[in-house]
Amino acid sequence: MSDNFKLQVIRPFGPSIAKVQIPEELVKKLNDYVDETIKDEKKSKEQDQGKKLVGNVTQEFKLDNKFLDSSGFLKFLGVSVQNWIKASGSSSITKFDILDSWIVRQFKNEFNPIHWHSGHVSGVGYLKVPKTWGENIQETKRVNKNGRLELIHGTRMFLSQSTFCVEPRVGDFYFFPNYMMHAVYPFLESGDERRSVSFNANIDDKVYNVYRGYL
């Protein structure tokens, strides 16, 4: 698997966001792992993360460390974070310590309320999306946010938006600072699964702690 992951830095407001394409072979490995875990009732229970996460969704379970490494997903995350931080104008990192990584399986009418993550850096990528998100209940509404991820920061001001809305597409992975609030809206009229993978990690404290030397 190549290390040349295509990265795009998006900066609609203060903090930067990175969008990276997950290699197709890695998407397949992740989906195969999820499908196998779903079939294994014992493993599903052992890795269940539902009590620790805020989502009102069908299932959330942790990826085991062995798979993270052997699949190449850990490498994908580490290289992408390193490139994102460098492209954002910060110092190069020498440390990438994964805290946890987990799968979210979301179906019709389910959602994830506004929340933020632990660690220093976080992100979410998409492994499956429904064929349709459903229409707005009020057909005259111009924007359809069904099933979307909404990233939130600050307050809307002149020439400055406070939210950034993402339509999930298979293979897209978004990286953002741990403190960035975000939510996932429910979707309608579909029996299909919205499947995502997320993570939390720590980087060099001297890079993350921008207030060092000012205290």
Tell me if 213 is assigned to some domain. no
State pLDDT tens for residues 168-178.
999 999 999 99
**Mean pLDDT in residue range 62-86:** 96
1 or 198: which leads in pLDDT: 198
Euclidean distance between CA atoms 9 and 14, whole angstroms: 12
Domain total in the chain: 1
Query: For position 154, what pLDDT does the model report?
Result: 87
Q: By the 8 A CB rule, do 112 and 57 touch?
A: yes
State pLDDT tens for residues 33-53.
999 999 999 999 999 999 889
State pLDDT tens for residues 172-195.
999 999 999 999 999 997 789 999
Query: For position 142, what pLDDT does the model report?
Result: 84
Tell me if 210 is assigned to some domain. no
Tell me if 11 is assigned to some domain. no
Query: For position 159, what pLDDT does the model report?
Result: 78
Is pLDDT at 214 greater than 60 in this prediction? Answer: no
What is the greatest pairwise CA distance in the chain? 54
Q: Looking up tokens 């490139």, which residue turns up? A: 83
State pLDDT tens for residues 92-118.
999 999 999 999 999 999 999 999 999
Euclidean distance between CA atoms 151 and 181, whole angstroms: 6
Residue 49 domain boundaries: 21-204
Total-model pTM: 0.91
Domain at 38, CATH number: 2.60.120.620
Q: What kind and span of H or E run contains 71?
A: helix 65-71
Query: For position 190, what pLDDT does the model report?
Result: 77
Tell me if 189 is assigned to some domain. yes
Tell me if 211 is assigned to some domain. no
Is pLDDT at 213 greater than 70 in this prediction? Answer: no
Is pLDDT at 215 greater than 60 in this prediction? Answer: no
Tell me if 6 is assigned to some domain. no
Euclidean distance between CA atoms 203 and 210, whole angstroms: 13
**Mean pLDDT in residue range 58-70:** 96
H, E, C per residue of 125-183: EEEECCCCCCCCCCCCCCCCCCCCEEEECCCCECCECCEEEECCCCCEEEEEECCCEEE
Give the rounded percent of residues in the chain with a pLDDT score beyond 70: 97
Q: Looking up tokens 């993402």, which residue turns up? A: 166
Tell me if 43 is assigned to some domain. yes
Tell me if 16 is assigned to some domain. no
Query: For position 13, what pLDDT does the model report?
Result: 59
